[in-house]
A = this chain, B = another copy of it.
């Protein structure tokens, strides 16, 4: 007798057979007495294929130009629209009433940051009306519309943002995130063979892990889920196993010092040197970068002897294209002597756990593990519940395995898995 929002990612709706499997999961939830909303991504490689088409038409005389972002979003939102229509047809063909809605059709309003827009509001009335009539409602993930009617996309993992936003606005009992893995692992199993599935994890831990490279859920989806208290359940679309529950923190969670480790690959460090050491300069720099919608990872500032400072920060390598002109303009504006340097080939290894708040010696144990593995640490950043080290990208996987072992996350002793 609840309200469930299910989300199926691209691989879970890659062909007609998988769409049917997803449709059956929705119908099964409905037949257990729930109201059911289904959020879907674009099928399989659709988004990549569309991007490839865009590249083709943007290549003139062998040179590729950057397409207008508004038109790129106009193009990409079609991917999810295809899936919602097919999913609604599949549910209907299997004997249950269903209706599909694009982001625009449920008034999912966003800002105008094309390619990485943020959700402002959803008009839930239309969804409730259909749910009250016993209809399974299919909603396009990853997309919205601006108040002026331009289509927008929500950036990487945007379908999860849709899942949680829809769950929050409908006050859902659970948001089920169906993927092609069994849940959240203590580390990426492709890199760490003895990684284990985590049974329960807190929103805060999940947010840290997401921000640190765990790709299943993006940080802001989890942040939103925490804000509205929506439980998330990450499950495998190919089976009926229990997955990983992402929920509010409980006391038992504190007994486990570290619940997971993560690796973020392909980072670039930008250093702006000889910045005048006056109040407001750092704010000015990061305001310009934020205005370009680029996420900054870690920030380090060193004050020099000559009343200037060096400001370093890391960004994902993929953002460099957008970032470079912003930094170059800053360097010009900040005046004489200021220069920028870019260093690629970096990675970040991290451990996360709410138990760190009450346990000591965690940092020491991590640094020793990296030292034993002969991995040089370039920078260290910490929060209440995580420790991160910037390292050379080539040492990434070995470093991840070393810290995973040091905190005994894998194998039969994996504590987080038993929560």
A residues near B (Cβ < 8 Å) are 15-16, 19-20, 50, 53-54, 56-60, 65, 67-68, 70-72, 74-75, 77-78, 81-82, 84-90, 92-94, 99-100, 102, 104-105, 149-150
- 19 A-B residue pairs with CB within 8 Å: A19-B57, A54-B89, A57-B90, A57-B93, A65-B92, A65-B93, A67-B93, A68-B88, A68-B89, A71-B85, A72-B85, A74-B81, A74-B100, A75-B85, A77-B81, A78-B81, A78-B82, A78-B85, A105-B150
Give the distance to chain B from A124, nearest Cβ to Cβ, in Å: 15
Q: A71-B100, A75-B86, A100-B71 are in contact. Are A20 and B57 (CB under 8 A)?
A: yes
Closest to A150 in B: B105
A56 to B19, CA, bound (A): 10
A85 to B187, CA, bound (A): 40
Query: Which 5 pairs between the two chains have the least Cβ-Cβ distance?
Result: A75-B85, A16-B56, A78-B78, A74-B85, A67-B89
A20 to B54, CA, bound (A): 12
Contacts of A100 in B (CB 8 A): 71, 74
Asked if A88 contacts B60 (CB within 8 A), the reply is no
Contacts of A86 in B (CB 8 A): 53-54, 57, 75
Residue in B50, B57, B88 whose beta carbon sits within 8 Å of that of A71 in the complex: B88
Closest to A17 in B: B56
A77 to B105, CA, bound (A): 14
Give the distance to chain B from A67, nearest Cβ to Cβ, in Å: 4
Residue in B20, B70, B104 whose beta carbon sits within 8 Å of that of A104 in the complex: B104
Residue in B50, B93, B150 whose beta carbon sits within 8 Å of that of A60 in the complex: B93
Give the distance to chain B from A402, nearest Cβ to Cβ, in Å: 46
A20 to B19, CA, bound (A): 35
Give the distance to chain B from A79, nearest Cβ to Cβ, in Å: 8
Contacts of A78 in B (CB 8 A): 78, 81-82, 85
Task: Report which residue of A53, A71, A82, A85 has the largest number of chain B beta carbons within 10 angstroms of its beta carbon.
Answer: A85
Contacts of A75 in B (CB 8 A): 81-82, 85-86, 89
Closest to A89 in B: B67
Contacts of A85 in B (CB 8 A): 54, 71-72, 74-75, 78
A53 to B54, CA, bound (A): 23
Give the distance to chain B from A94, nearest Cβ to Cβ, in Å: 6
Contacts of A16 in B (CB 8 A): 53, 56-57, 59
Give the distance to chain B from A108, nearest Cβ to Cβ, in Å: 12
Give the distance to chain B from A191, nearest Cβ to Cβ, in Å: 36
A287 to B136, CA, bound (A): 34
A355 to B220, CA, bound (A): 72
Asked if A60 contacts B92 (CB within 8 A), the reply is no
Contacts of A150 in B (CB 8 A): 105
Contacts of A59 in B (CB 8 A): 16, 93
Contacts of A149 in B (CB 8 A): 104-105
Asked if B84 contacts A74 (CB within 8 A), the reply is yes
Contacts of A58 in B (CB 8 A): 89-90, 92-93
Residue in B50, B71, B89 whose beta carbon sits within 8 Å of that of A92 in the complex: B71
Contacts of A81 in B (CB 8 A): 74-75, 77-78, 81
Give the distance to chain B from A29, nearest Cβ to Cβ, in Å: 19
Contacts of A89 in B (CB 8 A): 54, 57-58, 67-68, 71-72, 75
Give the distance to chain B from A133, nearest Cβ to Cβ, in Å: 14
Contacts of A102 in B (CB 8 A): 74
Closest to A76 in B: B85
Closest to A19 in B: B57
Contacts of A54 in B (CB 8 A): 85-86, 89
